[in-house]
Structure 1
Amino acid sequence: MLKVNNLEVYYGAIKALKGISFEVKSGTIVTLIGANGAGKTTTLRTISGLVKPKAGTIFFKDIDITKMEPHMIVQLGVVHVPEGRRVFPDLTVKENLELAAWTLKDKNRFKEKLEDVFELFPRLKEREKQLAGTLSGGEQQMLAFGRALMVDADLIMMDEPSMGLAPVLVEEIFDTIVKINKEGKTILLVEQNAEMALEIAHYAYVLEVGNIVFEGPAKEVKEDPKVKAAYLGA
């Protein structure tokens, strides 16, 4: 579904991505793990069109999206749940979801998607008239997921969805990611909680200072001694 080839990204003179290549197959959860500054967020932002690469290509469903503008990439079916949730705090829960549905032309489809989101996140239904800025961190993350689902995209990229959440909410968020995947969405997951990410993912790539240094089925990556020592506290 997604193919990234020899991607290079610079921030001024700093080379943030050093020719990385990877792919995400339809129907899977693929995770990128690595320390802060490894290039994980930059990778997602480049796929979204928010950062322009110096070299390399990005193909989504065999369409070259490397130089496309972000709104066109969303229309093709790629959506980005950013780090820090980034909900619109002065809008209600429902208004946040309505804004996300700008790609939907059919009003009936909009109602269906809204019902799907409220079924997956009953707490959002309870708070649909509440300002998003007054929600708890976990509820804001649910809203960020809900916005992504309103787009009706095929590929959902998630950047640090568990950041800043209590352990009990982290489990809930990862359960939700699995549920979304089982309902047919392909997931590209960036996550500092490497243990949980490797637990739910099908395939994993390890990023270190702009390079992919290791890859494989997530269960095998989780058992690798170097990965254990570097990222799993073993």
Structure 2
Amino acid sequence: MLVLEDVHVYYGAIHALKGISLQVNQGEIVTLIGSNGAGKSTSLKTISGLLRPKQGKISFNGEDLSKIPPQKIVAKGISQVPEGRRIFANMTVSENLDMGAYLRKDKSGIKQDVERVFELFPRLKERKSQVAGTLSGGEQQMLAMGRALMSRPQLLLLDEPSMGLAPILVKQIFTIIQEINAQGTTILLVEQNAHMALSIANRAYVLETGKIALGGQAQDLAASEDVRKAYLGG
């Protein structure tokens, strides 16, 4: 479904991604783990079209994405939940969800998807008329995920969904990620909580200073002594 081949990305003179290659197959949860500054968020921004690779190729369902603008990448079926949520703070919950469906014209389908989001996140239904900036951190994360789902993505990119959340909410968010995947959405997850990410993923890649250091089945990486020492605190 998604293939990155030898992708190099620069921020000015800084070589942020140094030839990464990875693959996400339809129906999978794939996670990218690594320390701060390893290039995880840069990878997602490059897939979304917010950054351009200087070298290499990104293809989605066989089509080269490297020169396509971000809004057209969304229309092709890729949606991103950005790090830090980036909800529209002055709009209500319902208005934020409407913004997620901005590129769509099918009113009945949009209505169905709002109901689907409310089934996944009942808390949002209770707060649908509330201004989004007044929601708790966990509720804002739910809203950011719900908004991304409103474009009916084939592939959902999640950037640090557990950041800043209490452990009980982290567990809840990860359960919902599995539910979204079970309903047919493929997921590429960037996450600092490597333990949680590896526990729900099919496959994983370890990023170190802009390079893929390891890749394989998530359970194998979770059992690897090197990965445990570096990322799982043991």
Please give the TM-score of this superposition, normalised by the length of structure 1. 0.99
Shift of 1:103: 2.1
- Residue 226 of structure 2 is matched in structure 1 by 226
Show the counterpart of 1:207. Answer: 207
Aligned to 1:90: 90
CA deviation after TM superposition for structure 1 residue 148, in Å = 1.0
Gaps of 5+ in 2: none
Correspondences of 1:26-105 after superposition (within 5 Å): 26-105=26-105
> Which letter maps to 2:226?
K
Aligned to 1:51, the other structure's residue is in SS state coil
Q: What whole-Å deviation, never above 9, does each CA across 1:124-177 have from its counterpart, x for those lacking one?
A: 011000000000000000001100111101000000000000000000000010
Tell me how far 1:104 sits from its aligned partner: 1.8
Give the letter aligned to residue 221 of structure 1. Answer: L
Cα distance per residue 1:160-203 (max 9 Å; x no partner): 00000000000000001000000000000000000000000000
Q: Which segment drifts farther, 70-79 or 103-112?
A: 103-112
Query: How do 1:39-188 and structure 2 match up within 5 A?
Result: 39-188=39-188
CA distance in 2 between partners of 1:106 and 1:231 (Å): 44
What one-letter code is carried by the residue in structure 2 that aligns with 1:43?
S
**1:65-103 deviation per Cα after TM superposition (whole angstroms, max 9, x unaligned):** 111100000000000100000001100000000011012
Question: What fraction of aligned residue pairs are identical, expressed as a percent?
Answer: 59
The SS at the match of 2:86 is coil
**Distance in 2 (alpha carbons) for counterparts of 1:122 and 1:168:** 16
Distance 1:83 1:71 in 2: 18
Structure 1, 80-89 or 103-112: larger mean CA deviation: 103-112
Alignment-derived partner of residue 196 in structure 2: 196
Q: Provide the secondary structure at the position in 2 that maps to 1:15.
A: strand
**Matched pairs, number:** 234
Q: Report the Cα distance in structure 2 between the residues aligned to 1:210 and 1:138, rounded to whole angstroms.
A: 30
- The alpha-carbon deviation at position 105 of structure 1 amounts to 1.2
What corresponds to 2:9 in structure 1? Answer: 9
Could you tell me how far apart the structure 2 residues matched to 1:97 and 1:128 are?
9
User: In the aligned structure 1, how far is the partner of 2:23 from the partner of 2:139?
Assistant: 31
- Aligned partners of 1:106, 1:133: CA distance in 2, in Å? 28
Flag structure 1 segments of 5+ consecutive residues without an equivalent: none
Provide the secondary structure at the position in 1 that maps to 2:88. coil
One-letter code of the match for 1:90? N
The whole-number CA distance in structure 1 between the counterparts of 2:65 and 2:53 is 11
CA RMSD of aligned residues (A): 0.5
Name the CA distance, whole Å, in 2 between partners of 1:126 and 1:164: 23
User: Mean alpha-carbon deviation: is it higher for 195-204 or for 117-126?
Assistant: 117-126
Secondary structure at 2:16's aligned position in 1?
strand
Question: Helix, strand or coil for the counterpart of 1:102?
Answer: coil
CA distance in 1, matches of 2:63, 2:48: 14
